[in-house]
Amino acid sequence: METTAYVALSAQMALEKELGVVANNVANASTAGFKADRQLFQSYVNDLKVPGRSIAFVQDRATYIDRQPGQIEQTGNPLDVAVQGSGYLSVRTPQGVQYSRDGRLQKGPDGTLIDSAGRTVLDPNGAALQLPDQYTDLQILGDGTVNVRVGGAWRSVGQIALSEPGDPQAMRKAGDGLLAGPTGGMRPVDPDAHSTRLVQGAIEGSTVQPVKEIANMTELSRSYERLQTMLSDDNDREQKMIQTLGTPL
């Protein structure tokens, strides 16, 4: 196969990967706390045996998380919390503690504070928070402290843990809206630092911009089709060349 085909195929593989990323972004345009993914590509230069000549291939380097904050949307639900800043909620999963920006919290059947998928929301000590059977009001402070009014009196039932990574680049998506933190690299948010807080009665929206992503998907599809046309034309050229050279004079 000639170099032209190799280059085109490398570009098609990169475009196919990026199309998958964009499609996943579009599918999560309305998912609370979702951070869009981005692709990073790089040219891989291969020196040819001809002096001064080289060829550049497209190389898929990595998929990274766009960490810009989503818009905070008011819901009026006292159990909803938006994470403002760089922190994450901690939840218990079969794979261990994982992290989330989805603040659609609920009271479980046993009174445990859970997320929208039924996973236990943890306090700074890794324990569950227990809401009493009957309370008339609930308050979630900026530092995660949860207060409830029972029988006309306020009392604290614990604190929602807020954690942040030492290296934000080390966070990796673990599926189902969760992220896996670097081993030993998560630390509690400093309660005196007001850059990361919880906002009660609100959720953080997705960072995906649907119109922009759909336009990007359209352009990627067109680029893929142009490369496919180039491959077909190059294949036709090779066949004609073989037929011409193989025809007896």
- Determine the pLDDT at residue 86: 87
- Determine the pLDDT at residue 157: 95
| Statement to judge: residues 113 and 169 lie in one domain | yes
| Statement to judge: residues 77 and 189 lie in one domain | yes
| Statement to judge: residues 77 and 192 lie in one domain | yes
- Determine the pLDDT at residue 53: 47
Q: What are phi and psi of 4, to 5 degrees?
A: -55, -45
Could you report the average pLDDT of every consecutive run of 10 residues in the chain (249 residues)? Answer: 62 78 90 87 48 50 81 95 94 94 95 96 96 93 95 94 87 89 82 85 94 86 75 68 65
- Determine the pLDDT at residue 110: 94
pTM for this prediction: 0.75
| Statement to judge: residues 16 and 110 lie in one domain | no
| Statement to judge: residues 77 and 200 lie in one domain | yes
Handedness of CA 95, 186, 202, 142 (dihedral sign): positive
| Statement to judge: residues 172 and 220 lie in one domain | no
| Statement to judge: residues 111 and 10 lie in one domain | no
| Statement to judge: residues 119 and 31 lie in one domain | no
- Determine the pLDDT at residue 181: 84
| Statement to judge: residues 78 and 200 lie in one domain | yes
Q: How many domains does the chain have?
A: 2
- Determine the pLDDT at residue 134: 87
| Statement to judge: residues 110 and 219 lie in one domain | no
| Statement to judge: residues 129 and 28 lie in one domain | no
| Statement to judge: residues 180 and 221 lie in one domain | no
- Determine the pLDDT at residue 185: 82
- Determine the pLDDT at residue 42: 53
Domain interval for residue 140? 72-204
